[in-house]
Amino acid sequence: MWPDSSMLRLSLCVLFLPLCWSLPLAGWVESPGYPRGYEPHASLTWSRCAPPGHTLALTLVHLDLEDGYECENDVLKVYADGGLISSLCGRMSLQELRSSVNPSLLSSSGGCLNMSFSADYSNTERHTGFRGFYTIQDYDECDDPNIECSHFCYNYIGGYMCTCPPGYLLNADNHTCTVSCTEDLSGSLRGQVTPPGTPGPYAEDAHCSYSLAVEEGLQLVLEFTGQFDVETKPSGECADAVRIKTRSKTYGPYCGRVPPDPIDTGSSQVQILFDSDDAGTNMGFAVTYKTKRMTCLGEVTADSSLQPRRQQYVMGDTVTVTCDAGTAVDQTIGPGIKSNRTFESRCQKNGGWKPVYNCEMVECEEPTLPHAVKLVGHLSKHYKSELHFACISKYYKLESDEVFTCEADGLWKSTTGHTKMPRCLPVCGVTEGQSSSGRILGGKRAKLGEIPWQLLIKEPKKGGASLISDQWAVTAAHVVDGIKTKTLVVRGGMIDATAQNAVIMYTEKIIIHPGYEKGTSDDSRTTFDNDIALLKMSRKVELGPNLIPICLPERAAAKLGEMSTVSGYGMREKVEQARFLHYADIAEIENEKCKETPRNKNNNLILFTENMFCAGMEGKDSCGGDSGGPLFVPRVGSGAPDKPYRLKGIVSWGAFCRDKNYKGYYTKVQNYLDWIRETMEKEGDD
In 434-555, the DSSP E strands lie at 444-445, 454-457, 463-467, 472-475, 489-492, 503-512, 533-537
Asked if the structure places residue 170 within a domain, the reply is yes
Q: What is the mean pLDDT of residues 453-476?
A: 94
For CA atoms 646, 647, 648, 651, the dihedral sign is positive
Cα–Cα distance for residue pair 619/657, rounded to 1 Å: 9
Domain boundary among 127, 158, 177: 177
Catalytic residue, candidates 64, 205, 481, 531: 531
Q: What is the mean pLDDT of residues 252-273?
A: 93
10 Å Cβ neighbour count for 84?
11
Q: Encode pLDDT of 36-69 as tens digits.
A: 999 999 999 999 999 988 999 999 999 999 998 8
10 Å Cβ neighbour count for 436?
15
10 pLDDT exceeds 50?
Answer: no
Asked if the structure places residue 579 within a domain, the reply is yes
Asked if the structure places residue 254 within a domain, the reply is yes
Ranking 109-118, 435-444, 475-484 by mean pLDDT, the lowest is 435-444
| pLDDT band of 622, cuts 50, 70, 90 | low
Contacts with 626 (C-beta within 8 Å, 6 or more apart), sequence order: 463, 464, 566, 567, 568, 569, 570, 651, 656
Q: Are residues 587 and 651 in the same domain?
A: yes
Which among 367-376, 435-444, 550-559 has the top mean pLDDT?
Answer: 367-376
Q: Are residues 322 and 201 in the same domain?
A: no
Catalytic residue, candidates 127, 478, 513, 582: 478
Main-chain dihedrals φ then ψ at residue 594, nearest 5 degrees: -65, -30
Question: Taking a C-beta distance cutoff of 8 angstroms, is the pair 212, 272 a contact?
Answer: yes
Q: Are residues 193 and 169 in the same domain?
A: no
CA 615 to chain CA mean position, Å = 59
Question: Taking a C-beta distance cutoff of 8 angstroms, is the pair 18, 122 a contact?
Answer: no
CATH code: domain of residue 164: 2.10.25.10
Q: Are residues 14 and 50 in the same domain?
A: yes
The 10 Å CB-count burial string (b at 16+, else e) for 118-134 is ebeeebeeebbbbbbbb
Q: List, as residue ranges, the binding site.
A: 66, 74, 120, 122, 138, 141, 155-156, 159, 231, 240, 277
Catalytic residue, candidates 276, 345, 466, 627: 627
CATH code: domain of residue 473: 2.40.10.10
Main-chain dihedrals φ then ψ at residue 588, nearest 5 degrees: -70, 145
Cα–Cα distance for residue pair 38/119, rounded to 1 Å: 8
Question: Taking a C-beta distance cutoff of 8 angstroms, is the pair 243, 207 a contact?
Answer: no
CA 444 to chain CA mean position, Å = 54
Asked if the structure places residue 449 within a domain, the reply is yes
Q: What is the mean pLDDT of residues 591-616?
A: 85
Q: Are residues 44 and 172 in the same domain?
A: no
Which among 436-440, 458-462, 556-560 has the top mean pLDDT?
Answer: 458-462
| pLDDT band of 280, cuts 50, 70, 90 | confident
What was the pLDDT predicted at 538?
95
| pLDDT band of 520, cuts 50, 70, 90 | confident
Asked if the structure places residue 590 within a domain, the reply is yes
**Is 478 considered catalytic here?**
yes
What was the pLDDT predicted at 329?
87
Beta bridge partners of 161: 154
User: Comparing C-alpha atoms, which of 576, 461, 448 is closest to residue 503?
Assistant: 448
Contacts with 420 (C-beta within 8 Å, 6 or more apart), sequence order: none
Domain boundary among 129, 151, 177: 177
Question: Taking a C-beta distance cutoff of 8 angstroms, is the pair 308, 322 a contact?
Answer: no
Contacts with 64 (C-beta within 8 Å, 6 or more apart), sequence order: 91, 127, 128, 129, 130
331 pLDDT exceeds 80?
Answer: no
Specify the number of domains making up the chain.
Answer: 6
Q: Are residues 502 and 648 in the same domain?
A: yes
What was the pLDDT predicted at 332?
57
Q: Encode pLDDT of 145-159 as tens digits.
A: 888 887 888 888 888
What was the pLDDT predicted at 433?
54
Asked if the structure places residue 435 within a domain, the reply is no
Asked if the structure places residue 11 within a domain, the reply is yes
Q: Encode pLDDT of 351-398 as tens digits.
A: 789 999 999 899 999 999 999 999 999 999 999 999 999 999 999 999
657 pLDDT exceeds 80?
Answer: no
Half-sphere exposure of 590 (CA within 13 A, CB side): 2
DSSP state of 492: E
3-class state of residue 644 by DSSP: coil
Q: Encode pLDDT of 166-181 as tens digits.
A: 767 888 899 888 787 8
| pLDDT band of 606, cuts 50, 70, 90 | confident
Q: What is the mean pLDDT of residues 587-603?
A: 82
Cα–Cα distance for residue pair 359/364, rounded to 1 Å: 15
Cα–Cα distance for residue pair 686/667, rounded to 1 Å: 27
What was the pLDDT predicted at 154?
87
Cα–Cα distance for residue pair 623/657, rounded to 1 Å: 5
What was the pLDDT predicted at 615?
92
Domain boundary among 155, 177, 199: 177
Q: List, as residue ranges, the binding site for Ca(2+).
A: 66, 74, 120, 122, 138, 141, 155-156, 159, 231, 240, 277
195 pLDDT exceeds 50?
Answer: yes
Average pLDDT of every residue of the chain: 87
Q: Are residues 322 and 274 in the same domain?
A: no
3-class state of residue 373 by DSSP: strand
CATH code: domain of residue 28: 2.60.120.290
Cα–Cα distance for residue pair 467/452, rounded to 1 Å: 8
| pLDDT band of 350, cuts 50, 70, 90 | confident
3-class state of residue 360 by DSSP: strand
Q: Are residues 382 and 502 in the same domain?
A: no
337 pLDDT exceeds 80?
Answer: no
Q: Are residues 596 and 494 in the same domain?
A: yes
Q: Are residues 258 and 356 in the same domain?
A: no
What was the pLDDT predicted at 383?
93
Contacts with 686 (C-beta within 8 Å, 6 or more apart), sequence order: 371, 471, 539, 540
443 sits in the region (left: phi over 0; alpha: psi -120 to 50; else beta) called left
**Is 531 considered catalytic here?**
yes
CATH code: domain of residue 411: 2.10.70.10
Cα–Cα distance for residue pair 444/448, rounded to 1 Å: 13
**Is 81 considered catalytic here?**
no
Domain membership of residue 355 as a residue range = 297-361
| pLDDT band of 438, cuts 50, 70, 90 | very low
User: Comparing C-alpha atoms, which of 183, 279, 201, 187 is closest to residue 239?
Assistant: 279
What was the pLDDT predicted at 660?
54
Ranking 101-115, 140-154, 500-514 by mean pLDDT, the lowest is 140-154
Q: Are residues 448 and 587 in the same domain?
A: yes
Q: Which amino acid is at 476?
A: A
160 pLDDT exceeds 80?
Answer: yes
Of the chain, the end-to-end C-alpha distance in Å amounts to 103
Asked if the structure places residue 438 within a domain, the reply is no
Q: Are residues 668 and 626 in the same domain?
A: yes
What was the pLDDT predicted at 655?
63
